[in-house]
Each structure stands twice: as structure tokens, then as C-alpha cells.
Homo-oligomer: A and B are copies of this chain.
Amino acid sequence: MDLRNEHLNLGEWMELIDSSLADPGSEPLLNLEGDEDPVYDAVFVGGGAGGRFGASYMKAMGGRPLIIDAWPFLGGSCPHQACVPHHLFSEAAEELDRMRWFSDELFFPKFDASRASILELVKLFLAGRGSAHAFMNWQTKEQLDVEYVLNARATIVDKHTVTAAGKTFRTKNLVLGMGARPVNPDIPGLDLRGVYDFVSLVEELDYEPTRCVIIGGSKVAMEYGSFFQATGCDTTIVSRSPLMRTKVLHHVDEDLRRYVVDGMRQRGMTILEEATPISVNGVDGSVRSVTVRLVTGEEVELETDFVFLGTGERPTVEQAQKTLGIEVGPTGRVVVNKRMQTSVPGVYAIGDMISGPMEMFKARKSGVCAARNIMGEDLEFDFTEFPDFLHTTYEVTWVGLSEAEARETYGDDNVIIIQMPPYVEGLDTPNLPLPCAEGTMLYAFSKPELSGFQKLVIDGESRKVVGAHHVGYGAKDAFQYLDFLIHRPEGLTIDTLGWMNELFLNPEHFVQLSRLRAGNAKLRHM
């Protein structure tokens, strides 16, 4: 379907995407300039976050990119199966959690668990996800003027040639952004009905689970598990590593970790750490239980009607590896340098295909980095340091060093901690409603122990903030800027932070807590 001269509005795009998704034999969607046999500056194989941002940037710089994607929409897995449903479900979890704690108190009615449904929220997501797709197709065509071929699988012929939708496209460079898919643990029983990962959850769930066993201890495990538990689906997490001590999470502060994981347990979740899943067991083709070897060596059978796999993701690299001969690392990710160049000149890889966190900032910036290098800039993208977050029923954010890392780096005597609840031995803090913060005010005045946690880690000698850690709500946006500020060459000193203009009463109290300390020539804990 040639859409070049059509200017669909959002509603029309939504219908077209929905009908394309529903019909496996539907036509490719072509937005091509139509000139004879063009040579593109880059073909982006995959129009997810990395491909879409990379192609848009290249076009804006005056280059000529083409995006090819197998789905009938741009944006990739994020709005379709990953970040967006995760955030919808996490917001529901936060809300359900509050409604449970305040059941029959204040203006909250008695909590009715029968109203809370995983299936209903999955359906809410499915009914609405098309609008983001429509917007991205519209925007990329009408505002960003990028050519694309959607609803068509790309075949890489060689590094200058890609075919899709029956057409052959010639290109100077190739940018691989085909994403990743959940990877399953190697145990029997995963083909039973009732076993899901975050992709199949939104695509296939067709009943209301009553109990859940999660295999794996990833962010996805913690986030979806907290959601399931909040709906009243009793959830057990089976994780080889302690939660938040998995290899892919860096800089996790132990106090923050404890607040978060204790909070999950307090809400009724069972968390089996250093436990090994042995098998998923079924009756009549449906899940009935999971066998687990505990840290003690004992084997137990956990009854359940719902198994959720949160063991991580891995990119699909076989086609590119075979056709192009690009190097793939031991963890299955494509090897690239800081310009996103693979081992084959002219071939770039971006997003979840390469190492580093499978997060949006990396996907988008790696796409842009590839584009800018192709266009002649000499730009490196270092994603070894970044702010991070996850959701339980809380929003959890962190950046820079944990307290332990800072003590190791700067020496015990030099590291200053400023935190809420405060860093004080012997004080009767358990019922102290601090941090009394925006987003936790109702908790602070009713259930102070639920009002969150925040910690700032400072190198006392240079007076620079080297780490920030937050559990609560509403600090996520700020951590983007904190990340920038603390990683500048000049860093962010407690003096500069303490002289900022706070918007009191704010979610994290870092500005004012720093100000209370900044008068000291030799800093002290607080």
C-alpha cells in the first residue's frame, strides 16, 4: 500500500495498523519518495526506538535514511509489549497498593479485591496501545519526513543490499536494530498453558490467574510481580541471585535494596533468593505447580495456575551474523565500538542488540550515535554510566555510586551520607514520617513507615555528590538531570546543590538537605 501521498490522520492510522496486525496476509505499508533506485545513506533494519530516532536524526541532518520493520508500526516493542504496558501496570500497582493500605480509612472504601484483575488491565492496554503506534507512524512521516517500509520483513542480502516487500534497497550503511526477545530458562514444562513472559502476557492472557510463580529475578520479575501481587494474585519470585543483586543492575545501594525488597515482602510476596527452578509441572496441558530447589537444598513444589518468566532477554542475531559475519560476544550481543560500529565496516548495531542496559535511553541514543557517525561526525556514546530505575509499588531511582562503592572509592572517612529517614543511631525513627514528601503525604500522616527512603552519597573531600538513591514517587524525571549534573567534569558539589531553588514540598529533599550541611567546612553525616 503506497501511502506516500496519503496524509492519514491518527484515527485512520490506528485502523490501518489494527487491520494489518489482525491479518497475517496484509500488505506492506510503503512511505517511499518513489525515485528510481536510490542509494540510502543508511537502511535501518528495525524501526524501534533506536531505528526511529537514528533515522529521524539522520534525516534532520540532511541524510537519507530508510526504516524497514516487520510490524505495521514504528516504535518497536516499547509501546507494543514492553515499557508502556509495564508503566500502565506499575501505575495500577501503585494505586491498588494505596487502596489496600487505606482500605476503609479516610475517603477510601473497603478494598474489594474482586475488582482487581490482571486480565482487565491487559485488555485496557490492548484496547489503547494502537494510538501510540498511530502517532509514531504519523509523526515520522509528516513531521520528521523519514521514508519507511512497514509490515514487511527485511532480508539482509549483503551490507549494501536489503530486500523487503518485494523490493531491493541499496544503501551505503546498514544499521541493525532488531531488538531482543525474552529468553527462557532451560527447564521442562515451559510449553504448558499458563506459562507467560511479558510478551505473551499482553498478547495471549485469557484467564484471571489466582497465584503466580515468577522464575527469574530481573527488573521485569520485580515489576510485574509487584503488579500481580497488588491485584491480589499471590506471587512468589524464584531467583538465583538476591533481588537487585543481579549482574545487569549496577550501583544498587544496600539500604535502598533493603527498603525495596522488604516492602515487597511486607505486601505479601514470597521471595525465594538463591533458589533454582527445576521444572514447571502440569495437568492436562496446564500449569499446576513449579518445583524449586531452595537455598537449603530442599526441593519444594509451589502450586500455581500462572507462571511468569522474568529471566532476561537476548537479541536475535543469527541472520546478521550469518550473512554479514559480524562479531557476536559471549552473551549473545553484537560487539560494537563507541560509535556503534560492528566488526564489519559500514554495519552498525544499536539498541537491545548490543551490550549495556536494555533501556530506552540506550536504544535511542545508540541509534542517533550511529546516524551521526554515518553523517561524518566523530561522536562516541558511552553507556557504562547511567541513571537507573524500577517500579515495585514504589518508583525506585538511583544514579552514581552506592554508599559501599563510594566508601571503597573515596575511603570510609571521606564519605558523607545524608539521608531520610535520617542517619542517626539510637533515635526513635521507626514512626518518623520522613521523608514526608510529595506523593507520600497520605502515607506520612497515616503509615509513616511507608513514606519512602532517600540517600545522597557525597565525597567529603571534593564535596561532590557521587550517588543519589530514592524510593518514593516523582523523582524519576529529576534523576535524568541529576545524572547529567553529577557526571559533568566539574561534578555537582553539595554547595551548588544546596544553592538551587527547591520546589518545596518536593519528592526528594536533596537540595534542602544539602543546604543544611553546606555551611560545614568539614562535612558531617545527617
> Which residues of A are in contact with B by a Cβ distance under 8 Å?
9-11, 53, 56-61, 78, 83-84, 87-88, 90-92, 95-96, 98-99, 106-109, 112, 115-117, 120-121, 124-125, 127-128, 131-132, 135, 138-139, 143-144, 231, 359-361, 364-365, 368, 371, 383, 386-389, 395, 397, 422, 424, 427-429, 431-434, 436, 438-439, 441-442, 444-446, 448, 473-485, 496, 499-508, 511-512, 515-521, 526
Contacts and interface: CB of A to CB of B under 8 A. Distances in A.
21 contacts: A9-B427, A10-B428, A10-B429, A10-B432, A56-B516, A59-B519, A61-B520, A61-B521, A87-B438, A87-B505, A91-B438, A91-B442, A95-B98, A132-B436, A135-B434, A383-B501, A438-B476, A473-B474, A476-B506, A477-B507, A480-B503
A500 B518 contact: no
B427 A526 contact: no
B505 A84 contact: yes
Given A91-B442, A132-B433, A526-B143, A503 B519 contact: no
A245 to B, nearest CB: 21
A475 B503 CA distance: 10
A96 B88 contact: no
A515 B53 contact: yes
Contacts of A138: 427
A480 B479 CA distance: 11
A128 B444 contact: yes
- Best-buried of A135, A428, A480, A501 by chain B (most CB within 10 Å): A501
Given A360-B502, A364-B512, A477-B477, 18 more contacts: A9-B428, A53-B512, A53-B516, A57-B516, A57-B519, A60-B519, A61-B520, A88-B442, A95-B442, A106-B115, A124-B445, A360-B512, A361-B504, A371-B519, A477-B503, A478-B478, A478-B480, A483-B501
Contact of A501 (B127, B139, B387, B515): B387
A350 to B, nearest CB: 14
A427 B501 contact: no
Contacts of A135: 432, 434
Contacts of A446: 124, 128
A441 B61 CA distance: 33
Contact of A502 (B84, B87, B480): B480
Number of copies of this chain that the complex holds = 2
Contacts of A397: 503
Given A87-B441, A88-B441, A131 B432 contact: yes
Contacts of A90: 441
A373 to B, nearest CB: 13
Contact of A131 (B107, B433, B474, B480): B433
A59 B518 CA distance: 11
Nearest to A109: B109
A434 B476 CA distance: 18
A503 B387 contact: yes
Nearest to A496: B484
B139 A422 contact: yes
A23 to B, nearest CB: 24
Contacts of A433: 128, 131-132
A228 B483 CA distance: 39
B60 A517 contact: yes
Given A439-B91, A482-B481, A483-B500, A115 B107 contact: yes
A428 B131 CA distance: 11
B445 A88 contact: yes
Given A10-B427, A135-B434, A520-B60, A231 B107 contact: yes
A361 B56 CA distance: 40
A473 B473 CA distance: 10
* Among all A-B residue pairs, the 5 with the closest Cβ atoms: A60-B519, A360-B504, A481-B481, A477-B478, A57-B519
Contacts of A128: 433, 444-446
Contacts of A88: 441-442, 444-445
A80 to B, nearest CB: 13
